[in-house]
Each structure stands twice: as C-alpha cells, then as structure tokens.
Amino acid sequence: MTENQGAANCRWGVPTLLLNNQAWTDADQRPWSCLRDGTPQELETTEPCRTCMAWEARPEKPVSFGEPCDHLRSEPYFLDILS
C-alpha cells in the first residue's frame, strides 16, 4: 500500500469536472469521483481512498483518447468540434 494513497493517484479516481453535464455541476462540492464500480460515485473528500481495498495505482502511461473514460462524455468537447 502506498503512503499517499488518494483519488489523484488512483486508477479509478477522476476529476468530477470531466464527467457528464449532470455530474460536473457539483464539482465544487465533490471534486473527485470514483469509477471503480462502473458508475461515477462523487466523493466529498478523498479520505475513503486512504483505506480503500480496491485502490490501484494510476498507470504510468496516460490513457489515450477513446479508451475507458471516453464513454462518460455526453457531449463533445469544444476542441473536438474544431478539429
């Protein structure tokens, strides 16, 4: 187990701001979400991450476009429209 175990360095943690339109409106109260169970669970604090048994280190190689998190977007990003 890593001593600085948290949402920012967890495979399942994602900033709530990057989720679909309904979820990101609460990003100021719940800045992180957990995708471990398939549906985003917004976290008010990252304290549960410290003792989470399913915590996994974030892969060193960044996820490329079209991989796991891409299905969470309900609308294209502005830059997607321009390109």
State the DSSP string of 11-58. Answer: TTEEEGGGS-HHHHTTTTT--EEE-TTSS-EEES-SHHHHH-TT--BP
pLDDT tens for each residue of the chain, 83 residues long: 445 899 989 999 999 888 877 777 878 888 999 999 888 889 999 899 999 999 999 887 665 555 555 555 555 555 555 55
> How far, CA to CA in Å, does 31 sit from each of 9, 36, 61, 65?
14, 16, 23, 22
Q: Where are the domains of the chain?
A: 13-82
State the pLDDT at residue 79.
53
Q: Please tell me the predicted confidence (pLDDT) of residue 67.
A: 54
pLDDT at 52: 92
Residue 65 in contact with residue 73, Cβ under 8 Å? no
Give me the pLDDT at residue 2, please: 45
Q: Give the residue carrying structure tokens 């996994």.
A: 56
